[in-house]
Structure 1
Amino acid sequence: MSARTRTRPHPAPRGGIDIRLPWWALTLPALAFVALLTLVLNPADAHAAAAEPGITHLIERAQQLIAR
């Protein structure tokens, strides 16, 4: 018994696979690259966020538990 094969409803494009990306697939990585590049070029503008002591204690406790 032979298996049925599916036929394509539209012929494949001649140039190969036609892939279309959404606009954000190129824009978001480009924006992230520019933001990181500006931080590297001017590190004085990169300020660390001040964490609350409770959050810092919680993170330290989690690290201790993971290290066990």
Structure 2
Amino acid sequence: MTPMEAVVATDRKLAAVLTYLRTALGNNASAVTPEEAKALRDKWQDIKVPVTRAKLEELEEASRK
């Protein structure tokens, strides 16, 4: 199995994976662009451990302030 780091090594590859996840289950979401993938990668670059839903909500709330 390919390591996840190789799958999402570039912003283009990460965008493709995120787009697949957003549309695979019949969702009608738009495609993720490489620029959006880069923004997400930059936002989360310092997080090196698994993140709980509660932590995601906390971080999202903090980003709105």
Larger radius of gyration: 1
**How does the TM-score come out when normalised to structure 2?**
0.27
**How does the TM-score come out when normalised to structure 1?**
0.26
Would you tell me which structure has more helix in proportion to its own residues?
Answer: 2
Ranked by relative contact order (alpha carbons within 8 Å, sequence separation 6 or more), the top structure is 2
